[in-house]
Every structure is written in structure tokens, then in C-alpha cells.
Amino acid sequence: MAENGTNGTNGTNGQGYVGTRTIRPDGVDKVTGRARFGADFNLPGQLIGRVLRSPHPHARIVRIDTSKAEALPGVKAVITRDDFGDQPSEFIPAGEMMMNYKDVVRNVMAREKVLYEGHAVAAVAAISAAIARRALKLIDVQYEVLPHVIDVVEAMRPDAPVLHDDLFTAGVEPKPDKPSNIAKRVEIAVGDVEAGFKKADVIVEREFKTAPVHQGYIEPHAALASVSEDGSTELWCCTQGHFIVRAHCARLLGMDIAKIRVTASEIGGGFGGKTVVYLEPLAIALSRKAKRPVKMVMSREEVFKASGPTSGATVRVKMGATKDGKFVAGFGELKYQAGAFQGSPVQPGVFCAYAPYDMENVKVIGYDVVSNRPKVAAYRAPGAPISEFAVESVVDEIAKKLGLDPIDLRMMNAAREGTKAAYGPKFGPIGLEQTLNSIKKTEHWNTPLRKWQGRGVASGFWFNIGGETCASLTINEDGTVSLMAGTPDIGGLRAALTSVAADELGIPYEKVRPIIGDTGSLGFNFLTGGSRSAFSGSMAIVEAAKQIKAELCARAAKLWEAKPDQIEFKDGHVRPLGALAEKVKPMSIADFAKIAGKTGGPIGGYGRINAQGAGPSLGTHLVDLEVDPETGRVTILRYTVAQDAGKALHPAYVEGQFQGGAVQGIGWALNEEYIYGADGKLQNAGFLDYRMPVASDVPMIDAIVVEVPNPKHPYGVRGVGETPIVPPLGAIANAMENATGIRFTELPMSPPKVLKALKERGLNKV
Amino acid sequence: MRYEAPDSLDRAVALLADAIGETRVLAGGTDLLVQMRADVVGPELIVDIKKIPETRVVAEDKGGWRIGAAVTGAELKEHPRLKQVWPGVVEAANLIGSTQVQGRATLGGNLCNGSPAADSVPALIAAGAVATLAGPRGRRDLPVENVMLAPRKLALTKGEFVVSFLLPPRLPRSSDAYLRFIPRTEMDIAVVGAGVSLTVDETGTISAARVSLGAVAPRVLLVPDAAAAIVGSRLDRAAQDRLEAAARAACSPIDDKRGTVEFRIQIAGVLARRAALIALDRARTS
Amino acid sequence: MAKHHIEATVNGDAVEFLCETEDTLLDVLRDTLQLTGSKEGCASGDCGACSVMLDGRLVCSCLVLGCEVGGRRVDTIEGVAKGQTLHPLQQKFLEHAALQCGICTPGFIVAGKALLEQNPNPTDTEIRYWLAGNLCRCTGYDKIVTAVKDAAVAMRKG
């Protein structure tokens, strides 16, 4: 049997579906409004659940009195911290971050303290939303307000208010004896940066600051839980990982995993923000208590205040290069704010900072710092956009100082196959150079600009992951195929997997129907994150198809009384070889399906893997922008993305990842930020003042799909979903420098900041 | 919460005058419903004025234009004549929110929401619009610049509501323009808004002008000094500089999540100048 | 106070329902009429995921009260396709991969249909500004604009 994917051929049409722009099988339901997202499920007799949230950024909970709420007619259950057992301190992987269950249970429902405005304190389930809202007002919480700290540098000070008196900085020697807000220090180092700097002809050192930004998914969190008298639980929720949700809920509620069946609804965006639990354990606890289904949906304000944005950070980068442009030293110090509980993505930020480049001497230090903000959650290549923004900005300054073309400078130092990254691994084939070359060849790169217009380029890296994946293929009695995957489909996965299954089995695309199975239907699937679902899912499908093909050949051998070497599977049929071909005719999958019962029973394949060999995806972005010098307003004129997909299973959805990530990056660079008052409260908890790009804010995003196959995947696939958000911050900052002559080091580069900088230099005239 | 949709002015006035407890008038609802959902307001009575014919007119009146308080921005844009006479007023109303919001938002609601950042108000003030109110003591007229006193504070007494606006007759060679500054291209609340209406004489010299600024003070401002700065000029560079300076001098903005004091003052001058240039260009070709 | 009893037309069908004063049209559509195609993304008129047509006018249903629609006509995403036949916009969205997660898609289809009914040959800029009230976080809007333009071509061909 072939070890590699059929990679472009398909018995039915000779062409193959992989690599073509098929219509996604779940598409019709989505364009007609039929598809069911998290809040679209309802059960008869359901109650509406709502959460009481802390108005204070930092306070001790002295007392919670729920008696009046419980007495309100129509209220069927009220829960507080008393309804959740405490959890010991234990780190478990979640997506690409590690989480501590002691923290998880406290984030889900505050215990000793509230640690951010919006922190859940209690929840009610009632027969209507109006009664639930009234019940919340009747819960009496006595708080002892404590001083709060928001900013990461402030939180690191020795005299800062301490959030957790059992948090001692890990990763420093000697171990501290006083608790602080610095949860850990991490470091990577190769070579000798001090020696490297001595060799440098040019050194640039800069400090950068970024604000927390939210993933901005349009669908708020939603969950519907129904617990039976024997404890069996059904849960529908929008999530990037229903097996993870099951694991968390089982843990937090003290249940057997098998007793919880989680169905992932269609999901209205996640970008990492739906890899954790917020409402799900609350809905289950309420349903258990009320003995009725409980539906909970967050408001947009709750999404901003109580779900996790990504970190804000302060980053210092120092790079040295010779006059020929060789990077001889790279230093970084990253301070990432984790929100109320430890676990910022500072480690991936540290790993990725210099990863696009082949450098002998690198040292990057990172600090994970807590502060009184919502606990951060993953946001698309978590940690990397921030550190790579800083490095790409400094790379650009070095290019300017040396009089070198910024693409040529990156090319000179580009990591390639065989490069050993500062964070450890040796790269297989990777496509950074190809993306740089693609950009250089574009008409975009060669189009002249006018005054107050600037062009910027930046590259980016994300490592991608594989992970535990189970998927099945079942041959139905009529020869059609049912495909079941276990990672929620965020944006085209079913289309890609259907193409793979159709090509592997040599049957028409329309004869394969995919679903995302619930947790009772498949073995453990790690979540949709780390750009892994197409990469791992397709590997599992290839494995399942392999099993089916082997099974069919074995049945043919029996039927034809032939030996295995006289039989092969090709182009959707089991075929007799050599002399046997004169005696029997090839048989299709449908032929075998008709006689499945008589030849051994139902036919299927089940791929259960821990996908290895994920290859990094590198990209280069090019942006033209124009600054209005009298107002500081920035218009993005033109944008091109070139990124290595390895093999694009579905080119349109790969392009879509490039375009979507680029526009998120544009928002992050120019206008998005969490704005806090001195009182520690979020001032812009809505889409009006949390300013994400709208359609008129951005131009078309040209997408160039580079394909440097990943040799470890049967089709050469690399994950592509996360890398697109990494280069925009640097590319836009570099374009701003070219447009204005000013190096902006603080994001977002919003008009008041830009105008102030222009005015200080007397430049604010047309 | 009660909801009433009277079909006459008198009935509406009676409902509002007799109401006990918090009462709100409903036109497009693009502010009211948001505030209700956010628990900022909790009215006991909502009076929907959209069934009252006087609030829905768009018609020439005494040489000017009468626009009902409950006419939507989209309807104003679709009116075949109005945008030729008052392009600034129509474009201002159509900058509020999105296409969906413009399908509901009204001049009456935009004014009576009491936000100094309202988009249509500087354009109405620059136009010299007069609001007609109905109340228990009968009708009265109030120049729009006198309706909003402070954020969320109107000069209306109990039982009164805005029925319509009258835009004055247009002299020949007149036009108007409205510009606002927002960080994105759409959807934001104005950080600064500038409305300019002017008339030029046969020589192309500005013979009359009104300048209004929004979001730079506790109320939307009529800035006579800014108008004086350009009357008698052809908006040469010196006049533009005078205009900018006068606009800036009139500002007393706040720092908030949408802009700093420094930024708003700077932008006020820029926008007043740019809006005046557009209005001048339109007036010359009108 | 007693609920309002409202009779209206939704997607061409006569409907009647009860609602409280504070229930929005979006609440009524989703929770009472079980038409969950219109989505709540923000409840403040800033995202367009709840877009519907009210008497032929594009609005956010979260900014309309349920009790306002008595005697009026509401058209939602569920009424866009005609039987088994998709509207050209729906077809082009599929062909051009103009959706990823799909949560914003109903709003875009309703808004895009309203645009093409008013302006059968819109420019890119006109499309983008008309749709500025519909937030999408997944696609970066590129393929949505392409799909709308291509639908316009298909509709002009008749």
C-alpha cells in the first residue's frame, strides 16, 4: 500500500480533489442559516442560566448570600464556589499552553478572591432570562476591595499588589521566599550573544509595547447542558475542542469522562479563544442542581470582560549585524501579562522571536506576569506576533542602517532546511526563502509610491503541532462513505478532509459526507488549534482509508481465491493483476458494499494517531499604506501575503487563512486594544469601541500560496492557520516608518499616537 | 414596561405629559435599545412616535425643507431633491453607524440622545435648522443649537418631544458639508465632527457662513468666530488659518477612550477647514 | 403588564406571537419563532449578524422591538433561498469560499441582497461601504467582496 497520499490522482476523474476548490459539504447550511451554532440549540423545559460577575478588579470575597435569589419564584438553581470542589495544583497541556487546574477552577468560579472585573462569582438558572437577571441582582456579595494592578511592568515591581500569595517565581535561582506576580522566568540561549555583539558593525536596541487584544470572534460563548438523574450529561457548546471540554468538566465536577457526551456545535470563530471552558462547567453544575437542561450564552460585554484576550507586553530587542548584513547576535527580553492566572504565551513568544533566522548567538528571556485582568487565552500563534513584531521592526532598522534591501537582508539570514533553531529543533524543508522571493517578484513590490505612502515587509514563523487525532471512514451499504472527524471545523476542514477521503478511496467527492463526531463517537481528539486539524485530520483519514483498502483486498483475495501479490487497490477499485485479470473483473467499493454482510460484515477504517512531523509554516507579508499627516489616520492601500502551506488541500480555504490573519493583524497594529481606566475597569467592552477592521477599512488581500512539501505528511501538508497573524504587526510598523520617517514602537499605532509623533517633529502638514 | 404607538401628536403629548416614572420616546431605537440592553435606562413607558404623520414628512415648507423627526437617514438619502439642496445634512445623517443603522436612525433621535458626538447635529446647526417641539403647552420652535444643553440633558420640558426640523430657505450659491474624524472608515462614534454651511456671492466670496463642531465640548457648538473668520474671504490660506484657530479656540473637549484633549483640538481645526473647502466647492458649483 | 400580541408577515408567511415590550425582534425571531438563522453577535447594532429586512429596509433586528412589527413585513436569511434554489449570492459565497466559520454569513447574505436590489452594479468601494456594518473576523472580507461582485454579474445576466 502506498505510504504517501495519492497526491493528485483520483480514479473517478483522474484529476483528484486535493488541491482543488471544491464546494464545502457544510456550506449550504451555512449560507441558508440552517447550520446550528452554539446558541442555536434548545431543549424542551430548558432553563436560562446567567452569571454574576465581580465589579471589582481585585477583592477578597468575604461572604456570598444567595438566599434571596433562591427564593425568587422561577429560580431553579443557584451555584457558587461551594458547588465546585477545590483542585490541586497540576499542569496539563491545553492547546499550545499549559494550564493549572487549581487556576482553572478558580477562573471558572472565584473562590477566595475576585481577580478581575468580570470574574464569575455565582450563577443562576431560571425559567426566563428576565427572572435570571433579576435573581442576579438579589445575590448579595460582600467584598473587601484590594488595590489592583493592571500594567505588566507595574505588576513586576516588588511593591505591587500581589494576586496569589502562593505564587513564587519559577525558573529563578535562588528560589524566592516571597510571593510575587512573576509566575515564571524562561530562557533560551545558544552561542554567546555578548561575543556576537562585539563582532557587530551595527547594533540596534529598541523597546516595544503592545496592548491586550481580543480574538474578536463574532459568536459569543454558549453552552447547553442536560444532566440526568444518574449523572449522565449531555453538553452542546461552541468550542475548538470538545474532548478538552469533556476533560475539564469531568475534572471540575468529579465525573467519569464516559459520563459526559459533548457535541461540538458549529463554531462562530475561535482563534484560540474557545480552547478553554467558561460557561460549560457552570451549565452542567446548574443543570445537575436544577434537574433540568440549562442554556447559557455570554453577552458581548461578558465576552470582552470575562473571556481571555491575548497578552499585552513590554519587549526589549537588541540585534547586531555585520556590515554585510549577517545577523551575529540577537537578544530579547519579553514581559508578557497573563491576566489573573499564570499562563501567558511568553514561552512560544521566546521560541519564535528569532526562529525565521539562522543565527549563531541568540538569548531570549521571558517573564510570565499576572495582573488584574481576565486570564489570557490563546490567540492565533500565541505569543509569536508580539516577539516577532519587535524583531521584524529591528531587522528593518538594521536594513536601513546598512543600506540593504529589507528582503535581501532577510534572505541572507533566512532559516532553511538544516538550520538549527535557537529553541532547539533542526528544521526540515521550510519555505521562508520562497516566500521572500515570491514577494520580491510581485507587481506590488515594484509599484512606485507617493509622498506620505510607505511600504513595509516582514516575515513570520509558527511551529505548528500535530497531536492525538481519531477519524473514521465508514462504507455504507450503497457504497457512499461517511466520514467522521473529531476536531471542530472552524473554516473549511470538512471540505479538505472530504477531498482527501475521496482521493484516497478513488470515489467522487459528493459520495463522501463528513460530520464532526461527538465525544462518544471517537477516541480522544486534541483540539482545533496549533494549525493542526487539516494536518492531523488528513493523516488520520489516510490511515483509515489504508485500513479499508487492505480490508477490501483481503476480501477480494478470498473471493477470487487469489494471493495478495495478485491484487492491488487502484482508482477506486480492487484490481486483479497479471493472469488473474483474465479470470475476474475489478470490483468497486460499491460492489463490495453490496456484499459486505456476506463477506465479513460492515467495512470501515478508524485512524487513531498521535500525528507527528508537523512542519513550521513561514510567511512574508508586504503592505502599502498612506498616512494623513494632518490627522494621523492610516489607510491600508495594498496587501500581499506569501506563505508556505506545504500542500494546500483546499487552496481557497488556505488563502482565506492568509487573508483573515492579515486583517486581524491590521486591526492589532492600528486600532485594537483593551482600554482600562485607573479604576481597573474595562472601558471598551463592545464592538463600538473595540475597533476591529470593517470591510471598508481594508483592501483586497493578495494571497500567494507557496508549497514546500512537508516530507513527514502523506500529502506534504503544513498547518497554515496561525502564521498569517505574525508578520502584519512588523510589516505595518515598517511601512509606517517608511511613510513618516518615524519608528513606532507602541501598538496600536492609533491616530492620536501617530499625530502626536508627527506634530512633535513638525511633520503634521500635507 | 409599557409600549404605546400613538398616531397623533396630541395623544403622544398626553402620554408623555401624564407618564409617571422614566419615559422614553422611540423613533429608530438605535440608541434606546442599546441603552436598555446595557441596563443604562429602564423606562416604564416607551412612546413610539413613528405612526404620527408629522414626524415622517419630508416636504418643502415656506421655501425651506421640513423633515420629520422620525425620518430615517436612509430615507433622507433616497429623497431625490434633498441631497442637492442640503448635501451636508444628508451625508451627516448617513454617517451614523452602518447601512443597517441608517435604515432606522433618525435626526430626532440623534439629537435627543443628547450626545455631543452625534453626527447629524453639527450639520443641522450649521444649516440653521430649527426644531419644532410639541408639548402640553402647545408647539414651540427652538434652534437646534439650543436643544442639547449638556450630555444627556435637553432643553425639553416634561411631555415635550421633537416633532420635526425646518431647514431654512436656501440662498443661491449655497451649500454645506459635514466631516467627522473616526479612526476606522465607518462604524465609530465621531471623535470630532464639523459641519459648515455657507453662501458665496457672484464674485465667489463667502457672504454668509455657519460653523458647528461636535464632540469637542459638553454640547454641540455653534462657533460664530469660526464663521466670522471666513466671511468676506474666498477661503484663501490666511482665512483657512483663521478658521482653524477659531475652531480650536472654541473647543473644550475631554480625554476619553476615543481621543485625547490634544488630539481633538488639533483635529477640530483640520476638519473645520476641510469641511469649509468642500462646502465652498459645492456652493460654487450649485 | 400583559404581553403584546403581534401579527406580522415573516418570509411571506403570516405569523403571530406574544412578546414583552423589551424583547427585540431578534429575540422574537430566535426564541419565539425558532428562526435561528439571524445571529446575536453584540446586541448593540455593531456587528450586523442579526441583519433582516423590515418592510424592504435593511436593519439590525437587535435594534427593533418585537412589538414594533405588527402589520409589517420581515424577511430573514431563512427566506432568501427559493425552495431548493439558492439565491445567486448564496451560490457565489459557496463557490468563492466567502465564508469560514459562517456565523456572519446570514447577515452578509441579507445585507448583500439588499445592496444588489438597490444597486445592481456596485463597485468594490460601494460594496465595502455598504457592508461596513457586517463584521467578519475570519475572511478579511476579500472573498466576500469577490462573491458579491460575482453574484451581481450573475444577477445582471438574469
What 3 state SS string does A701-746 have? EEEEEECCCCCCCCCCCCCCCCHHHCHHHHHHHHHHHHHHCCCCCE
**Grid coordinates belonging to A147:** 488595590
- Amino acid identity for residue C132 in this structure: A
Domain end point (choices C22, C55, C78): C78
Task: Mark yes or no for CB contact A299/C134 under 8 Å.
Answer: no
Decide if C105 is inside a domain. yes
Binning pLDDT at 50, 70 and 90, where does residue A90 land?
confident
Q: What is the pTM of this model?
A: 0.97
Chain B residues with CB-CB distance to A693 below 8 A:
184
Q: Which long-range contacts (CB under 8 A, 24 or more apart) does A298-303 make?
A: A298/A220, A298/A221, A298/A222, A299/A220, A299/C43, A300/A220, A300/A685, A300/A686, A300/A687, A300/C41, A300/C42, A300/C43, A300/C44, A301/A685, A301/A686, A301/B38, A302/A51, A302/A53, A302/A118, A302/A220, A302/A221, A303/A214, A303/A220, A303/A221
Confidence of residue A146 (pLDDT cuts 50, 70, 90): very high
Q: Is the confidence at residue A8, as pLDDT, over 50?
A: no
Q: What is the pLDDT of residue B45?
A: 98
Give the cell for residue B286.
450649485
- Tell me the pLDDT tens digit for each residue of A373-420: 999 999 999 999 999 999 999 999 999 999 999 999 999 999 999 999
Q: Let me know whether C96 and C137 are in one domain.
A: yes
Task: Output the pLDDT for position A2.
Answer: 30
Residue with cell 531587522: A395
Structure confidence at residue A3 (pLDDT): 35
Q: What angle do CA A657, A662, A666 make, to 5 degrees?
A: 150
Q: What percent of chain A has pLDDT over 90?
A: 96
Q: How far is A295 from chain B (nearest CA, A)?
A: 19
On chain C, the residues whose CB falls within 8 A of the CB of B28 are: 63
What is the ipTM, given to two decimal places? 0.98
What phi, psi does B62 have (nearest 5°)? 50, 40
Q: What is the pLDDT of residue A11?
A: 45
Greatest distance between any 2 Cα atoms in chain A: 90
Using the beta-carbon criterion (under 8 Å), do B187 and C132 form an inter-chain contact?
yes
Contact call for C63 and B186, based on CB within 8 A: no
State the first-to-last Cα distance of chain B, in angstroms, to the nearest integer.
49
In the predicted structure, residue A662 carries a pLDDT above the cut 50: yes
A630 has a chain B CB within 8 A of its CB:
yes
Amino acid at site A451: K
Q: Which of C18, C21, C77 to mutate to test the interface with B (most CBs of B within 10 A)?
A: C21
Residue C29 near chain A (CB below 8 Å): no
- Provide the domain limits for residue C66: 4-78
**Same domain as C96, residue C74:** no
In a shared domain, residues C18 and C65: yes
The confidence band for B286, taking pLDDT boundaries of 50, 70 and 90, is confident
My answer on whether C54 and C20 are in the same domain is yes
Task: Please identify which residue in the block is written with the cell numbers 532553511.
Answer: A416
pLDDT at A702 over 80: yes
Taking alpha carbons only, the member of A490, A270, A224, A219 closest to residue C40 is A219
* Rg of chain B taking only CA atoms, in angstroms: 18
Give the pLDDT of residue A12.
46
Mean pLDDT of all residues in C64-90: 97
**C93 shares its domain with C153:** yes
* B5 contacts C65? CB cut-off 8 A: no
Confidence bin at A95 (pLDDT 50/70/90) = low
| Cβ within 8 Å, pair A663-C103 | no
Is residue C10 located within the same domain as residue C74? yes
Cβ–Cβ gap B34/C24 under 8 Å: no
Instruction: Tell me B142's DSSP state.
Output: E
Domain assignment of residue C83, yes or no: no
Domain CATH for C40: 3.10.20.30
Which residue, A169, A196, A197, is CA-closest to A183? A169
Query: Residues in chain B, how many?
Result: 286
B30 touches chain C (CB under 8 A): yes
Contact C96 A27 (CB under 8 A): no
Q: Name the minimum distance, in Å, from the CA of C68 to any CA of chain B.
A: 8
Average pLDDT for chain C: 97
Segment among A85-89, A238-242, B141-145 with least mean pLDDT: A85-89
SS3 of A647, please? Answer: coil
One-character DSSP codes across A54-88: -SSSSEEEEEEE-HHHHHSTTEEEEE-GGGS----
Residue among A693, A281, A222 nearest C41 (CA): A222
Do the Cβ atoms of B181 and A688 come within 8 Å?
no
CA-based nearest residue to A111, from A133, A86, A88, A90 = A86
The one-character DSSP state at A692 is: P
Which CA distances in Å does A131 have to A28, A48, B36, B101, C18? 37, 9, 16, 30, 18
β-strand A313-321 against A512-516: which pairing, if any? unpaired
pLDDT of residue C158: 79
Chain B residue with CA closest to A759: the answer is B266
Q: How far apart are CA A692 and CA A690, in angstroms?
A: 6
pLDDT (tens digit per residue) in C2-61: 899 999 999 999 999 999 999 999 999 999 999 999 999 999 999 999 999 999 999 999
- CB spacing of A695 vs C131 below 8 angstroms: yes
Could you tell me if C103 and C36 are in contact, meaning their C-beta atoms sit under 8 angstroms apart? no
Q: What is the pLDDT of residues A320-358, one digit of tens each?
A: 999 999 999 999 999 999 999 999 999 999 999 999 999
- C142 vs C128: CA distance, rounded Å: 10
Nearest to B72 by CA among C126, C57, C66: C57
Distance, in Å, from the CA atom of A285 to the CA atom of A122, rounded to the nearest integer, reads 11
Using a CB-CB cut-off of 8 Å, the residues of chain C touching A34 are 37
Q: Which among C39, C54, C78 is the end of a domain? A: C78
Task: Give percent of chain A with pLDDT exceeding 70.
Answer: 97
Q: What is the mean pLDDT of residues A87-99?
A: 73
Q: Which of B189, B263, B270 sits opposite A688 (nearest CB)?
A: B189
pLDDT for position A92: 76
Sheet architecture: strand order including B206-214: B174-181, B192-200, B206-214, B221-222
- Same domain for C49 and C109? no
DSSP letters, A248-263, are HHHHHHT--GGGEEEE
The CA–CA distances, whole Å, from C62 to A496, C22, C28, C46, C51 equal 35, 11, 10, 10, 8
Any chains having at least 3 CB pairs less than 8 A from chain B are: A, C
Residue C127: pLDDT band (50, 70, 90) is very high
Give pLDDT, residue A94: 58
**Do C68 and B5 lie within an 8 Å CB cutoff?**
yes
Clarify whether residues C36 and C100 are in a common domain.
Answer: no
Closest by Cα among A213, A209, A155 to A370: A155
On whether the CB atoms of residues A704 and A642 are closer than 8 A, the answer is yes
Q: Considering chain C, what percentage of its residues have pLDDT values greater than 70? A: 99
- Of A32 and A571, the one with more pLDDT: A32
* Cβ contacts of C99 on chain A, cutoff 8 Å: 27, 30-31
The residue among B59, B65, B75, B283 whose CA lies nearest residue B167 is: B65
Q: Would the pLDDT of A368 be above 50?
A: yes
Which chain C residues touch B if contact means CB-CB below 8 Å?
Answer: 1, 4, 20-22, 24, 43-46, 48, 51, 54, 57-60, 62-65, 67-68, 111, 114-115, 129-134
What are A663-676's pLDDT values in tens digits? Answer: 999 999 999 999 99
What is the mean predicted confidence (pLDDT) over A161-187? 96
* Residues contacting residue B29 through CB under 8 Å, at least 6 positions apart: B104, B109, C63, C64, C65, C68
Question: Are C95 and C72 in the same domain?
Answer: no
pLDDT at A202 over 90: yes
Q: Do C144 and C92 belong to one domain?
A: yes
**pLDDT band of A4, cuts 50, 70, 90:** very low
Q: What is the pLDDT of residue A1?
A: 28
List CB contacts of C98: < 8 A, sequence separation 6 or more.
C92, C105, C108, C139, C143, C144, C146, C147
Q: Mark which of C35, C55, C78 sits at the end of a domain.
A: C78
Query: Rounded CA gap, B42 and A408, in Å?
Result: 62
Mark whether C113 and C49 lie in a shared domain: no
Closest to C100 (Cβ–Cβ): which among A35, A37, A492? A492
Task: Give the pLDDT confidence of A428-474 residue by residue, as tens digits.
Answer: 999 999 999 999 999 999 999 999 999 999 999 999 999 999 999 99
Q: Is A670 within 8 Å of B262 when comparing Cβ atoms?
A: no
pLDDT at A729 over 50: yes
Task: Determine what percent of chain B is predicted with pLDDT higher than 70.
Answer: 100
Q: Shortest CB distance from C128 goes to which of A37, A40, A695?
A: A695
The pLDDT, as a whole number, for residue A14 is 52
3-state secondary structure labels for all residues of A450-483: CCCEEEEEEEEEECCCCEEEEEEEEECCCCCEEE
Q: Which residue of A has its CA nearest to C95?
A: A23
Kindly report the average pLDDT of chain A as a whole number. Answer: 96
The whole-chain average pLDDT of chain B stands at 97
The whole-angstrom separation of Cα A709 and Cα A707 is 6
Q: Which chain A positions have a beta carbon within 8 Å of C95's beta carbon?
A: 21, 23
CATH number at residue C127: 1.10.150.120
Is C150 domain-assigned? yes
Note the pLDDT tens digit of each residue in B192-244.
999 999 999 999 999 999 999 999 999 999 999 999 999 999 999 999 999 99
Query: Could you tell me if C106 and C140 lie in one domain?
Result: yes
AA identity, residue A122: A
Number of domains, chain C: 2
pLDDT of residue C95: 98
Whether C132 maps to a domain, the answer reads yes
User: Which of residues 48 through 67 in chain C touch A, CB cutoff 8 A?
Assistant: 49
Helix (H, G, I), strand (E, B) or coil at A91: strand
| C-alpha distances out from residue A465 to A95, A130, A468, A720, Å | 9, 44, 10, 11
